[in-house]
Amino acid sequence: MSMASSRLDTVCVFCGSSPDAAPAWLDAASGVGTLIAGDGLRLVYGGGGMGLMGAAARAAQTAGGRVLGVIPDFLTQVEHTVPGVETVIVTSMHERKMRMFEESDAFVVLPGGIGTLEEAIEILSWRRLGVHAKPIVFYNPGGFWDPLFALFAAFVDQHLAPYWFGESWRAVAAIEDILPAAREMAAAPAHPAFGARV
């Protein structure tokens, strides 16, 4: 198992790429990018220049931060990379997600659509299976992710996930609480049953 460390250097941000996202979400993504760069951390993201993804990357870049984008070649003409940002072009979505995982010490999930949800679920599944113990923090302004959290609770209630599954992630409503939550998770010991198939 790849264990967590209380020292964070790189934070992966999962978020929407829709150019039609609400201005409030775009502003929030910019705030997260600025926060990560301002803390001296590197930001890893999906490589596109549109929507929340582009907003987070450009904000981190403007703040003087280190930024790495990872994008499959078939999306480069659709989502357009951010000029001046280091970008790795891969061959598939699977390779993209694995590279983002390998490069990162923690994950932050911002509002997004089906792609963001898919990324969040996969990284949670890997944590559930003991593949990693890296922090996962949902930025949950206005209860955006509450329906998902209710589904997670149903998994536990119906004995489809272990009782400790709720310890696999944190949710915060304020941008300034994201990194403290990630560091708290990184420093905390994993549950004794972590990774057990129960």
**pTM of the predicted model as reported, rounded to 2 decimal places:** 0.92
pLDDT band at 7 (very low <50, low <70, confident <90, very high): confident
pLDDT per position as a tens digit, 54-91: 999 999 999 999 999 999 999 988 888 999 999 999 99
Q: Between residues 23 and 3, which one has the greater pLDDT?
A: 23
Q: Which CATH number fits domain 10-184: 3.90.850.10, 3.40.50.450, 3.30.2090.10, 3.40.605.10?
A: 3.40.50.450
Q: Where are the alpha helices (DSSP H) in the chain?
A: 23-38, 51-62, 76-79, 93-103, 114-128, 146-157, 178-187
Domain map of the chain by residue range?
A: 10-184
CA distance 187 to 162: 22
- The secondary structure element, H or E, covering residue 67 is strand 67-72
pLDDT at residue 80, rounded to an integer: 87
Residues 6+ apart with CB under 8 A from 192: none
Q: Among 13-22, 39-48, 50-59, 77-86, which stretch is predicted with the lowest mean pLDDT?
A: 77-86
Mean pLDDT value of segment 129-156: 96
Which pLDDT does position 196 carry in this prediction? 46
What angle do helix axes 178-187 and 23-38 make, rounded to 10 degrees? 50
pLDDT above 50: residue 165: yes
Q: How confident is the model at residue 191 (pLDDT cuts 50, 70, 90)?
A: low
Q: Confidence band (pLDDT; 50, 70, 90) for 35? A: very high
* 195 pLDDT more than 60: no
Supply the pLDDT for residue 111: 97
What is the overall mean pLDDT for the chain?
A: 92
